[in-house]
Structure 1
Amino acid sequence: MRAFVLTGPGAYEVREVPAPQAVPGEVVVEVERAGVCGTDVEFFTGEMAYLHQGHSSYPMRLGHEWAGTVAEIGDGVDPGWLGRRVMGDTMLGDRTCRRCCRGRQHVCEQRQEVGIRDGRPGALAERIAVPAWSLHALPDPVDAVLGALVEPGGNALRAARATEAGPGDRVLVMGPGTIGLLVAMFLRAAGAEVHLLGTTASSLDFARGLGFERAWAEVPDLPFDAVVDAANAEHLPALALDRVEPGGRIVYIGIAGRPSRIDTRALVLKDVTAVGILSASPGLADTIAAYAEGGVDPRPLVAATVGLDEVGAVLAGGYPGPKVQVDPRARAG
C-alpha cells in the first residue's frame, strides 16, 4: 500500500510499504480521511518533544485523526465490526495499570499513540491497523470528514466542559486555530458568550465568518468567568490567569514550545481553578453524538482535502488552515 513516511526533519517520501495484517484482537481499516494537525507539523520540523525524549523516531508514519471502514478483522474480534464506518482513539493504554483501570488510559505510562509514538504507525496511508477496543462506530450523519474531526473535537469538548460555562457566562478562548475554534463551537452550543483572541487578521476574519463576532487582536476590558488557552505562546498562561475573574476557571490545552510560568500566588489569592487537558479519549463518544445531532458542525474548518503526494507541502505550510484533510486513496494528477 502507499503511505506518507517522514524520514527526518523536512524530509519525506510517499512509499510502497507492506499492508498491515489483522492480528488477534485488532482490525485493519481502509482510511477515508486523515487530518493534519500541529503535532504533525512539529514532527516535520523536528521540534516535537517526543523526538528528544526517545518516544518517537524517524522514519515514522504520521496521522492520528482519521476515519474509515473496517476491511479486515483478526481472531477474537466481533465480526460485527467488519464493514463498519469507524474512527479510533489515539491513546492506547496497556489496559492493566492503575491508571487504565481507573479510566485514565490516555495517561498510561506505557501507552502507545497512533501516528505519534514509535510502534503504532498512523493513518497517512491507505490502511491502518488498530486494536478493536479502540474503535468508535460512526453513525450515518457523521461522514468521513466529520469522522476525522472527532479526535480534535474530543479534545475541544473536554476543554469546553472544563470551563463549566453555560448561559450567562463569558469565556475567552485564546488561539483561533482548529482546537480553539472547536472549543468555541462547543461553548456556543452550551449557551456561553464566547470571545476569541488571535494575532492575525486572517484568523480573526475566519472566526467572524463562523459567527464569532467577538474576535479580538487584544483582550477586551471585560470580566471573563473562564479563559481557555488553546495557543502555543509561552506568555499566554500567565495572561489567562491575569484576565480570569476571581473564582473562575482556566483551562490549558495549548502547549508552548518553551516553558511557561504562572504566579501561583495569584492562582490562590483569586481562588481560581486551573485544569490541564490532554487527549480526546474521554470525550470521543460525546463528540460523535454532538456531530450526529448537528449541535456542532466543524466542516467549515476543513480548508482543503489533498492526497498523500501533497502532504509534504501541507506540513511545510503550503496550504491554508485551519484544517487540511488527506484522502489516502486520491492520486496526484
Structure 2
Amino acid sequence: MSSTMRAFVLTGPRRGSVQEVPSPEAVPGEVVVDVERAGVCGTDVEFYTGEMTYLHQGHSAYPMRLGHEWAGTVTAIGDGVDPAWLGRRVMGDTMLGDRTCRRCRKGHQHACENRQEVGIRGGRPGALAERLAVPAWSLHELPDTVDAVLGALVEPGGNALRAARATGAGPGDRALVLGPGTIGLLTAMFLRAAGAEAHLMGLDGDEFARSLGFAHVWTRETLPDVPFDAVVDATGAASAPAFAVDHVEPAGRVVYIGLSGAPSPLDTRALVLKDVTAVGVLSASPGLAETIAAYGSGAVDPRPLVAATVGLDEVGAVLAGEFGAGPKIHVDPRR
C-alpha cells in the first residue's frame, strides 16, 4: 500500500482542493478501506459554505476531510481485528460513540456526547479520499446484491428508514413528506414499501419525484385537503415543523429529520390539543442493517437518485452547486 493517497481537503469556507496526504494506518481495533463510492450530501455543503453548526460549537475545524456516505473493500486490519474482515465489501456507521458512557451502554452510541462522526465531527477523516480508516465494530458487510452504488446510499437510507418507521404508517394510512430531496424521497420509498400512501410536497411540481412512481406530488398551493395520518419534515425550512403539526390528523405522528438554519417556531399547545406524537431522528445508526436488507431484497431501489458519479477533482464543483441534476452526486475516488 502506498504511503500517500489523494484526498479532498477542505481548508476553509469555499476553499478546498485535492491533496496528497498520508495514507491511513490500521491501528489496533480499526481497518483500512479502499473507498469505491462516496456520496455528497447537504451536511458536506454546509461545511463548504461555513454554515455548519459544528464549526461554531468547536466540534469540527478546518482543515477537514468530508465524506460520511461510503462503500468500499477492507484492505488492511489492525491488531485485535478478526482477519475475516479482510477483502470484505462494507459500509460503515457514521456515528462513533466512545462505547463507555451511559448512552453507549444503553445502545444509543449515535447520541454519545463524546462521539466522533466520520467526515464530520471530532477530527475523524471522511471518505472523499482513496482510503479510509474506521473502527471494525462500525462496519456492516454488504451482500452481493448490494453493490458500491447502493452501499454508499445505505447511510442516507438508514435515516430515511428510521423516519418512515417512526411515522407508524402502513396499509390504509396516508403520509405526507415535506421536502423531496434525497432523504425525503428515500423516506417516501420506505413508506411506499410499508404499504402506506406516500405524498410529497416541495417548492414546485417535482417531476423527478413523479418519475420515481409517486403520483401524489404537491406544492403548498396545490396540497389537497385530505387527512394525513403522519407528516415527515425533511426540509431545512424553519416554518416546516409547525406546518407539519397543522396538517397531521389528530392522534397522528409528526417526524422531524430536517434541520433549519434558524430556530423553528412551534406552539406545543397544538401538539397537546391534537394529541400528536412528535419524533426526532438524528442518525441512521439503528437502521443500517435493515436498510441493507431492503436494498438487497429489492424492496427499495434508490439507484435513480444518483444523477452523476464524478472523481475527486470535481468535488469542489459539486460542493459549489455546479452539478444541478438529481438529488445525489457520487464520487469514485479511483477516477
Q: How would you bin the TM-score normalised by the shorter chain?
A: over 0.9
Q: Does the CA contact (< 8 Å) of 1:8 and 1:44 recur in 2?
A: yes
Distance 1:306 1:90 in 2: 22
* Residue 276 (structure 1) aligns with: 280
Residue 257 (structure 2) pairs with residue 250 (structure 1): no
* Residue 159 (structure 1) aligns with: 163
* Residue 46 (structure 1) aligns with: 50
Distance 2:224 2:44 in 1: 33
Residue 91 (structure 2) pairs with residue 83 (structure 1): no
Unaligned stretches of 5+ residues in structure 1: none
Distance 1:48 1:200 in 2: 26
Distance 1:41 1:245 in 2: 35
CA deviation digits over 1:217-251, x for unaligned, max 9?
Answer: 12221110000000000001000000000000000
Structure 1 consecutive aligned stretches of length 4 or more whose deviation exceeds 4 Å? none
* Residue 300 (structure 2) aligns with: 296
* Residue 137 (structure 2) aligns with: 133
TM-score by length of 1: 0.98
Q: In structure 2, what residue type is equivalent to 1:82?
A: L
Distance 1:258 1:211 in 2: 33
Distance 1:145 1:121 in 2: 21
Which of 59, 63, 68 matches 1:64? 68
* Residue 99 (structure 1) aligns with: 103
Which aligned pairs between 1:107-186 and structure 2 lie closer than 5 A?
Answer: 107-186=111-190
TM-score by length of 2: 0.97
Q: In structure 2, what residue type is equivalent to 1:185?
A: M
Which of 300, 325, 328 matches 1:323? 328
Q: In structure 1, what residue type is equivalent to 2:307?
A: A
Q: Secondary structure at the match of 1:141?
A: coil
Distance 1:164 1:329 in 2: 41
Distance 2:112 2:265 in 1: 26
Residue 226 (structure 2) pairs with residue 226 (structure 1): no
Q: Kindly state the Cα deviation for residue 5 of structure 1 after the two structures are TM-superposed.
A: 0.4
* Residue 217 (structure 1) aligns with: 219
Q: Kindly state the Cα deviation for residue 170 of structure 1 after the two structures are TM-superposed.
A: 0.3
Distance 1:118 1:134 in 2: 16
* Residue 19 (structure 1) aligns with: 23
Distance 1:170 1:158 in 2: 17
Q: Secondary structure at the match of 1:139?
A: coil
Q: Kindly state the Cα deviation for residue 200 of structure 1 after the two structures are TM-superposed.
A: 3.1
Q: Kindly state the Cα deviation for residue 119 of structure 1 after the two structures are TM-superposed.
A: 2.1
Q: Secondary structure at the match of 2:188?
A: helix
Q: Kindly state the Cα deviation for residue 208 of structure 1 after the two structures are TM-superposed.
A: 0.3
Q: Kindly state the Cα deviation for residue 22 of structure 1 after the two structures are TM-superposed.
A: 0.2
CA deviation digits over 1:193-220, x for unaligned, max 9?
Answer: 010000034xx10000000010001222
Distance 2:326 2:80 in 1: 41
Between 280-289 and 192-201, report the one with greater CA deviation.
192-201
What is the percentage of aligned positions where both structures have the same residue? 79
Distance 1:279 1:267 in 2: 24
* Residue 28 (structure 1) aligns with: 32
Distance 2:147 2:204 in 1: 31
Number of residue pairs aligned between Structure 1 and Structure 2: 328
* Residue 263 (structure 2) aligns with: 259
Q: Please report the RMSD computed on the Cα atoms of aligned residues, expressed in angstroms.
A: 0.6
Q: Kindly state the Cα deviation for residue 43 of structure 1 after the two structures are TM-superposed.
A: 0.4
CA deviation digits over 1:149-195, x for unaligned, max 9?
Answer: 00000000000000000000000000000000000000000000010
